Structure 1
Amino acid sequence: MSLRTAALRLLPAALLLLSACSESNTKTEIATSAREETMATTADALDSTKSASPVASATKATPRPIRLTVPDTAYAQDVALFLGGQQPSQHSDLTKLAATPAWQAFAQDQDKSWDKYRATHTTRMTQWANTELDSVHANSPTIFYPFSGPDFLNVFTMFPTSQTYVLMGLEPVGSIPARTTLENPKLLPAVKTSLWSVLNFSFFRTNDMAVDLKSVELDGALPLMMLFATRTGNQITVIRPVQLDATGQLQDAPTDTTQTPNPKSIPGVEMKLLGPNGQPKTVYYFSADLSDWKLTSKSAPLEFVRHLGPLTTYVKSATYLMHKSYFNKIRRVILRRSRYILQDDSGIAMKYFQKGAWQFDYYGTYRRPINLFAKQYQPELTTAYRDTLHRPKALPFGTGYNWRQTDSNLLLAKRLVPLAD
């Protein structure tokens, strides 16, 4: 039996074990639950967000952010290629590392994995999106992807024509890996292990990813975002550290890393790309806790999103956070500012959509959430998916926690009433 087959068969048991740990935390009062959610004790094993402690560590005075202050763009592109198992440019000093037997074997393995992913996901997702999201693409210059982690891969595949992508999660921002990190013999196995779940299940097993990458000094979301950018045919042109001030205004991050950061600022990064067709794109990632408890004292993420203009929001593998009462602030902003919402059942619960304000298109299959999230079952979705007059449409790829194609679902919500002020 192969290691991957064994891992797949063991996954349900692992999820059940995590469920036992997780459910005990959700029976407390709402205020306590909000605090627990901030510390990522609810569904931490699969959540695409992380605990607040890495966020705090990302803002500590360390020399690492200096590498991002005046980045060598050519170096950043070559690092992204190297991490993704793609040949760096001829003039790069990484060509010597890429000539080693270890990297050559890694590159060959990655090519096989990505070829399989394209066959089972990317090609099908692209064909589906071109048909079902055609009008959405035409009216979606800005995509908001909350609880995303570093997942530029899926949002770009779904919305390849958009100009701006705003990702938010609890993972620290991270930095462009240094040469010493790239020379670490543990790096390539760690990257391979971290990518395995997203390429096979379509979501990150965040705990494992954090442990694996931290052990080789990949310190946050940025390195994987860079990797995904190049593997989807984009070219990195600019990377710069940014932050949101207390009012949600975008600023350059301070260059003096010894200075105590503003406690109400939100760390982030801006990555500018040239798309496969030469179209300029801008990707933002902000390390932010989106629970009500945290947004009450640090509202910058909400203010930034409010001023982005009309949004298309994408939600996937979001651990059902916006089903809960203490994620009301971010849920409300999405519902008020989005023209379209594309989500699996882990996104916004159906009960929060205003009746008569949205048109819904259902895709795939809805039965029940996996055991870890069994309490988030939605009878409304079961009713919708059993409607014989308006049958759900086919979904030709797997996505979300129910990652098998035969079990996956997506919902496209289209606004019918004007956007709220």
Structure 2
Amino acid sequence: MIALFLALLGAGGFASARPVDSLARAYAGLPDPRQPTLNSVPEAGAAYRQAVDKSWTAYRSRTGQPAATWAAKHITPAAGGTVFYPFAGPDLVTVAQLFPEADRYVLVAMQPAQPPLDPLQLSEAARRNFYRKFSSEWQKFGRLGFFRTNDLDADVRDKQARIGLTTTLMAFAVRLGYEVIEVSPISLNPETGEFEPLVNARTEAWNSVRLTLSRAGKTVRVDYVRMDLSNSYLESHESSRVWMARMTRHPVFLKAASHLPQNSGFSIIRDAIVMNAPLLVQDETGIDYRELGKIGDVALYGHFERPHPLFNPKSQQSLAAAYRVSKISGELPFSFSYQKASSQRCLQVVRRRVAATTAQAY
């Protein structure tokens, strides 16, 4: 039987009889027609719902819908399968719109997922603080289209608002039209090499989380994995390194990755992607352009001259040169990643080059 209810989340946690989808809809400022008694509770208030609606509508019109339309034409991924999104934070929104037919999304970042909470079990003051803070997060994502690491770290430290990545993932899921069926903490089993659900997990065990979603009769899984992708960590954690390498055999998406894949301290994941990925979609913060040719032919979209001022101005000089000489760089009609101006935002799509084979008939 599908588990629809949150369990007791250990000492210091809470018990809630609310369906997880009801919680997700509350986070997203959406009514829950299956829980009419809860609709009468002024849980978030009209101001919160209006602020979230406004931010989501602005994001969808400026970025989300144009990106989905563009992806259907230029990425055209096969239906089903897994998409691997390293350095993702809780950005389910972007990867789900660029790869809408995937069966599984695997997102990796450094922050703990943390368990969801039921705002109805908070004091009135704490509940107001939760929604005030989360409203700010909605507005920031609606404006930027990505999550800043400093903000995610600050959310982890904030023990009053208690907004974790699980909360954000659940809210995004229902805004994308999914029903949230189940939410559970997961951990890597060294024996099987897979992330598996934890039973009766305490609050502090919610480092990684799995969301089971449903839309139009299709079940989709979202795994958020807390993992350090640096060489120093992967070299000393073999099971994590092996799992990561296996994930790179799926289509890979890189966005707002702070140019980390170009850093020598992240060469293990870079090399795994270059060696294994059948498809790579990235912005300028992903893998250095000089490495992309080892995968296959690179399709350039948008324009690129230099990195965002936050980063090393010498990064991706070969990519800038490729854009200067390219006569066929395609359109990128939506705001994306760190670069917002149409003269700077860019994406690259690289498909694995199939080795030529010679067949001889006898």
Letter in 1 for 2:219: P
Distance 1:87 1:360, change over 3 A: same
Distance 1:331 1:159, change over 3 A: same
Distance 1:206 1:309, change over 3 A: closer
TM-score (norm 2): 0.86
Distance 1:251 1:115, change over 3 A: closer
In structure 2, distance between residues paired with 1:234 and 1:278: 10
Letter in 1 for 2:302: G
Structure number with higher helix proportion: 1
Decide which of 264, 270, 283 is 1:331's aligned counterpart.
270
Secondary structure in 2 matching 1:371: coil
The aligned residue for residue 251 of structure 1 is 196
Letter in 2 for 1:63: A
Deviates more, 1:176-185 or 1:164-173: 176-185
Decide which of 311, 326, 330 is 1:373's aligned counterpart.
311
Secondary structure in 2 matching 1:380: helix
Secondary structure in 2 matching 1:80: helix
TM-score (norm 1): 0.75
CA contact (8 A) 2:155 2:163 kept: no
User: What does the per-residue CA deviation read over 1:279-336, in whole Å, with 9 as the maximum and x for residues that have no partner?
Assistant: 2111101111110111122233332243458411001001111101110111122222
Given the alignment of the two structures, is residue 180 of structure 1 paired with residue 101 of structure 2, yes or no?
A: no
User: What does the per-residue CA deviation read over 1:318-357, in whole Å, with 9 as the maximum and x for residues that have no partner?
Assistant: 11111011101111222222100000010111223354x4
CA contact (8 A) 1:272 1:282 kept: yes
Q: How does 1:136-215 map to 2 (within 5 A)?
A: 137-138=77-78, 141-178=81-118, 179-181=120-122, 183=124, 184-212=127-155, 214-215=158-159
Decide which of 63, 66, 77 is 1:121's aligned counterpart.
63
TM superposition shift of 1:387: 2.2
In structure 2, distance between residues paired with 1:370 and 1:283: 30
Secondary structure in 2 matching 1:358: coil
Could you tell me which runs of 5 or more consecutive residues in structure 2 were left unpaired when the two chains were aligned.
Answer: 1-8, 356-362
Distance 1:237 1:95, change over 3 A: same
CA contact (8 A) 1:323 1:348 kept: yes
Number of paired residues? 342
Secondary structure in 1 matching 2:286: coil
The aligned residue for residue 111 of structure 1 is 53
CA contact (8 A) 2:52 2:139 kept: no
Given the alignment of the two structures, is residue 403 of structure 1 paired with residue 344 of structure 2, yes or no?
A: no
User: What does the per-residue CA deviation read over 1:58-85, in whole Å, with 9 as the maximum and x for residues that have no partner?
Assistant: xxx9635676xxx86x621111111111
Secondary structure in 1 matching 2:196: strand
Distance 1:111 1:375, change over 3 A: same
Deviates more, 1:152-161 or 1:302-311: 302-311
TM superposition shift of 1:257: 3.6
CA contact (8 A) 1:268 1:285 kept: yes
Q: How does 1:90-101 map to 2 (within 5 A)?
A: 90-91=34-35, 94-97=38-41, 99=42
The aligned residue for residue 301 of structure 1 is 240
TM superposition shift of 1:374: 2.6
TM superposition shift of 1:168: 0.6
Secondary structure in 1 matching 2:162: coil
Letter in 2 for 1:251: E
Q: How does 1:8-407 map to 2 (within 5 A)?
A: 63=11, 75-91=19-35, 94-97=38-41, 99=42, 103-134=45-76, 137-138=77-78, 141-178=81-118, 179-181=120-122, 183=124, 184-212=127-155, 214-246=158-190, 248-255=193-200, 257=202, 267-275=207-215, 277-308=216-247, 310-355=249-294, 357-388=295-326, 390-407=327-344
Distance 1:144 1:181, change over 3 A: farther
In structure 1, distance between residues paired with 2:45 and 2:26: 8
Distance 1:232 1:65, change over 3 A: same
In structure 1, distance between residues paired with 2:330 and 2:12: 48
Letter in 1 for 2:272: V
Could you tell me which runs of 5 or more consecutive residues in structure 1 were left unpaired when the two chains were aligned.
Answer: 1-60
Distance 1:376 1:321, change over 3 A: farther
Letter in 1 for 2:132: P
In structure 2, distance between residues paired with 1:62 and 1:297: 30
Distance 1:296 1:309, change over 3 A: closer
In structure 2, distance between residues paired with 1:221 and 1:65: 16
TM superposition shift of 1:92: 5.9
CA contact (8 A) 2:260 2:286 kept: yes
In structure 2, distance between residues paired with 1:89 and 1:78: 9
In structure 1, distance between residues paired with 2:97 and 2:272: 24
TM superposition shift of 1:197: 2.4
